Chains A and B, each alone.
Chain A
Amino acid sequence: MIRYVVRRLLQAIPLLFGIATITFFVIHLAPGDPMDMFLEPRLRRQMDPEAIELLRRNFGLDQPIHVQFGKWLANLAQGDLGVSFQYRRPVTALIAERVPYTLQLAVLALLFDALIGIALGIYSAVRQYSLADRVVTIGSLAVYSVPAFWLAIMLVMVFSVNLGWFPISQTRSLDYDLLSTWGKIVDRLWHLALPVFVLGVAQAAGTARYMRSRLLEVLSEEYIIAARARGLPEKTVILKHALRNALIPILTIYGMSLPFLLGGAVLIENVFAWPGMGLLATDAVGVRDYPVIIATTMIAAVLVILGNLLADITYSIVDPRISLGVEKPA
């Protein structure tokens, strides 16, 4: 078990290295002078060419590319991702401020997804071909097809603008600091409700569909017939024997859905002015704040890798076959 975790951790290292490499090459393949990536254009226009040359040498941009790459990696290892043009602050600090907000959304959305998606999937598989099943399958495909950012706007229009049930945007009320501890928690949840729902509902729709087909597949396995032949009640057969087998691959699906979740968060954060990484990244694109654009993307990838690692380790705990080196079941 521990050996497996260590092995997976070691496997993540080349991936992280690969992410850094790709990012580095994007910087250097970008059109124009690589100086653009380090120096604010406005500032640069005001400086005289000699000073720019000096800076270029300072940044090491005159050196051969492999030396630059090495230096860049060394900086990266120390957590130095450059300085934001827009905020004039280290990018690392900026991102550290924003990541918790994105994680808040993502984790709660995953929770919502797991609860609703798995429950609907089971319900629909158990009642295959019933009216409820058809409603769930078609409904989930429809929900899955609705762009989340548009759904967010529609919900804001109905529930916030017209009905006034939920806040339109932001993470907390203006009078947040005056509230009691309990009031603060409620206020936070009240602001989280719509963004988490929008982010989670499409995921839940996907999970429900996957869960349904997976459970139906498992239910046709011989060990399910065998379980029934042993006289086990249908409830035990489905909720214990079938579900355990069907749930295991769901974990991998969660690992794989992380990139989509983070990508979706970009749009949702924009709609709700939620100060997470996605909003930071889009703002940066708007003003060509290159260090921030590149760093947010890289950090997003690192988060995905960490998420996958977590999913795999959980997987190995749930499925005895994995940590003992047996192949993953198809």
Chain B
Amino acid sequence: MLLRVEDLAATFFLDEGELRAVDGVTFEIGEGETVALVGESGCGKTIVALSILDLVPSPGRIVGGRILFGGRDLHGLKPEELRRVRGGEIGMVFQEPGSALNPVFPVGRQIAEVLELHRGMTRRDAELEAVRALGGVGIPDPETRAKAYPFELSGGMRQRAVIAIATCTRPKLLIADEPTTALDVTVQADILDLLGDLRERYHMATLLITHDLGVVAETAERTLVMYTGKLFETGPTDRIFDEPLHPYTTGLLRAVPRLGSGRGVPLEGIPGAVPDLLRLPSGCTFHPRCELADEGCTDAFPPTREMGPGRECACYRATTT
């Protein structure tokens, strides 16, 4: 097992109260495996990603759980050791390629910096390797682009540059946080293809965070469904798509437009909105929006139950056929 996240909890300590952005999340990622973390915006997916690298921004803090990476407890490491993991063994791709690149340094320099640090290259070698890395992520004319500042590149090019930075050290795990959300639709597919490509080339495991189930179906072997800081359902992607167990998953799937569903068939969504994390509903946090909910759902949060091979679900009403 490459990565094991055990009972992870991260809380933001705000003036208005404690906001539990991540609350008891457990999952695993194997070598070379692609796992998708899905859910609506504002349910803590990004914080899970940042928690793995111990980068939860203040006033937030990791308050519980363990992150085991290659058998080591990441948060028990010395700062220098943790730094070697960050960027060296775990790469991260961000949602906004525009704000993930430092605006005042050329992109080539930003790649070279990482290479100098993690691969001990000389400045000159690192610059050359940076050009090669830019070419490797499909940026045309990489010699020129390496000298360009982020603002001189298009959104798609920037995201390619960010991916080049994250993968130039051949990490074992790539965390991609909504890598296509901020991009033009036409570019999204290219970026996903590139990620798939790199995954095979370097045999990287990937944690793909997204709210786009279409993307999940195409790429991920396993899927984790998250809502209000908790995992609602986990399992192999094809099983989840064929037979969702949690009513929330069912709702998410219903909201995806499908080929062949025909025109004129209205898309259904989930009624209501994601609740305020500071004022979560009692019991199952999904019950106000759930069509199956009854009085039993309002008392306590449902325990996670095993439901068939490799599948888990946290719902009182879930049943397998």
Contacts and interface: CB of A to CB of B under 8 A. Distances in A.
A touching B, CB within 8 angstroms: yes
B151 A231 contact: no
A233 B100 contact: no
Given A220-B57, A320-B149, A321-B149, A228 B101 contact: no
Nearest to A229: B92
Contacts of A232: 83, 87, 113-114, 117
A319 B94 contact: no
A228 B86 contact: yes
Interface string A196-240: 000000000000000000000000111101111111111010000
A314 B232 CA distance: 55
Interface residues of A, number: 26
B103 interface: yes
A314 to B, nearest CB: 14
A225 B149 CA distance: 19
A231 B86 contact: yes
Interface stretch (A17-25, A170-178, A241-249, A260-268): A241-249
Nearest to A224: B102
A225 B86 contact: no
Interface in B97-112: 99-105
Nearest to B152: A324
Contacts of A229: 53, 55, 86-87, 92
B156 interface: no
Interface string A303-324: 0000000000000001111001
A232 B87 CA distance: 8
B102 A241 contact: yes
Contacts of A324: 152
Nearest to B118: A231
B165 interface: yes
Interface in B109-133: 113-114, 117-118
A223 B102 contact: yes
A165 B289 CA distance: 78
A49 interface: no
A326 B103 CA distance: 12
A329 interface: yes
B298 to A, nearest CB: 38
B92 A226 contact: yes
Contact of A230 (B50, B80, B103, B114): B114
Contact of A248 (B57, B86, B104, B165): B104
Interface in B56-101: 57, 79-80, 83-88, 92, 94, 96, 99-101
A234 B82 CA distance: 12
Looking at chain A's contact residues, is the secondary structure mostly helix, strand, loop, or mixed? helix
Given A225-B55, A226-B92, A321-B151, A231 B103 contact: no
Contacts of A241: 102, 105
B215 to A, nearest CB: 22
A329 B104 CA distance: 11
A319 B104 contact: yes
A19 to B, nearest CB: 34
Most buried by B among A231, A233, A321, A329: A231
A311 B312 CA distance: 62
A244 B83 CA distance: 22
A231 to B, nearest CB: 3
A222 B94 contact: yes
Contacts of A226: 92, 94, 100-102, 162
Nearest to A221: B99
Contacts of B118: 231
A326 B151 contact: yes
Most buried by A among B53, B83, B103, B152: B103
Contacts of A320: 104, 149, 151
Contacts of B149: 320-321
Contacts of B101: 223, 226
Contact of A231 (B83, B102, B105): B83
A65 B31 CA distance: 86
Contacts of B162: 226
Nearest to B95: A222
A226 B117 CA distance: 15
Contacts of A220: 57
Contacts of A245: 102-104
Contacts of B92: 226, 229-230
A210 B84 CA distance: 34
B11 to A, nearest CB: 18
Contacts of A326: 151
A321 B101 CA distance: 14
Contacts of A233: 80, 83, 117
Nearest to A241: B102
B87 A230 contact: yes
A234 B117 CA distance: 13
A226 B164 CA distance: 13
Given A230-B92, A231-B86, 19 more contacts: A220-B57, A222-B96, A222-B100, A223-B99, A223-B102, A228-B53, A231-B83, A231-B84, A231-B114, A232-B87, A232-B113, A232-B117, A233-B117, A234-B79, A241-B102, A244-B102, A245-B103, A319-B104, A321-B151
Interface of B: 50, 53, 55, 57, 79-80, 83-88, 92, 94, 96, 99-105, 113-114, 117-118, 149, 151-152, 162, 165-166
24 contacts: A220-B57, A222-B96, A222-B99, A225-B55, A226-B94, A228-B53, A228-B55, A229-B92, A231-B85, A231-B86, A231-B87, A232-B113, A233-B83, A241-B102, A244-B105, A245-B104, A248-B104, A319-B104, A320-B149, A320-B151, A321-B149, A321-B151, A326-B151, A329-B103
